[in-house]
Copies of this chain bind each other. A is one copy, B any other.
Amino acid sequence: MDQEEARSRVLDAAERLFYDRGIQAVGMDELRTAAGVSLKRLYQCFPSKNELVEAYLQRRDARWRSELAEYVAEHAGAPEDRPLALFDWLHTWFAAPGFRGCAFINSFGELGPTSDGVACVARDHKLALHAYVTELVQGLKVGDPAGLAGQLVLLVDGAITTAALTGDPEAARNARTAAATLLAAR
Contact = CB atoms under 8 A, between A and B. Distances in A.
A32 interface: no
A174 interface: yes
Nearest to A100: B113
Interface string A151-175: 1011111110110111000010011
Contacts of A175: 151, 154
A126 interface: yes
B114 A109 contact: no
Interface in A7-63: 20-22, 24-25
A122 interface: yes
Range of interface residues on chain A?
35 or more
A28 to B, nearest CB: 16
Contacts of A154: 154-155, 158-159, 162, 171, 174-175, 178
Given A127-B166, A151-B177, 13 more contacts: A20-B113, A21-B113, A105-B165, A106-B109, A108-B164, A109-B110, A126-B162, A150-B174, A151-B175, A154-B178, A155-B158, A156-B158, A157-B162
17 contacts: A22-B112, A22-B114, A24-B110, A25-B114, A102-B161, A106-B110, A106-B112, A107-B109, A108-B164, A110-B110, A126-B165, A147-B174, A147-B177, A151-B178, A154-B155, A158-B158, A158-B161
